[in-house]
Amino acid sequence: HRGSVFSLGLLCTAFGRLQQQGRAIGAEALCAEVAAMCRGLVDRELRRNNAGQTAGQRLFAAHGLSGARGEAEAGFRLVIDGALPLYRQRLAADGDEQRALLDSLLWLMAHNDDTNVASRGGLHGLRWLRRRAALLLAQGGSAGEAGLTRLRRFDADCIARNLSPGGSADLLIVTWLLAQLGAQE
């Protein structure tokens, strides 16, 4: 859960800074503040001072995957530009928070260069996961019993391949947290 602790810690810090400065607090403002606080993080920690001791450092050195650091430095753009709007859309459509979260997770899995997946399954595993998640979304995501059945099969296939989309799950937590601020934007 290091990625979620890292991301949530940054968001809480940004929240405190914005509140202390009397600035508006909303999803965009929080993520912009996180991006400002993290400016240069990938360069400092992954490009210049990369000892290659963690899986994330090795994946950056080998493939340029920046993981949680890159997402934070980018101001959680995957969340702001994709997962959060989808979550809000799905929630508004039928009020089913669990299905909105499932579809948002699928969207993140289809678009995120998840370093946990790449660490376990290499780039081949990451590509497989991204393609499969995109296909499930194109088939309607979690809608209906057929959608849930496809998701259960996908889960079983991920387990069989030892692929765990932990980075995408971390971004889903960020998505949910930012959605709770909707009334303040």
**Per-residue pLDDT reduced to its tens digit, 34-64:** 999 999 999 998 888 777 678 888 899 899 9
Q: What is the pTM of this model?
A: 0.93
Q: What is the percent of the chain with per-residue pLDDT over 70, rounded to a whole number? A: 97
**pLDDT for the residue 145:** 96
Phi/psi at 75 (5° precision): 75, 30
**pLDDT for the residue 183:** 43
**pLDDT for the residue 48:** 84
Contact 25, 40 (CB under 8 A): no
Residues 39-42: contacts with CB under 8 Å, at least 24 apart: 39/73, 40/73, 41/69, 41/72, 41/73, 42/66, 42/69, 42/70, 42/73
Q: Which residues of the chain have pLDDT under 70?
A: 52, 182-185
**pLDDT for the residue 172:** 98
Under 8 Å CB-to-CB from 20, ≥6 apart: which residues?
none
**pLDDT for the residue 184:** 41
**pLDDT for the residue 182:** 64
Residue 86's nearest CA partner among 183, 185, 172 is 172
Matching residue, tokens 């496809």:
150
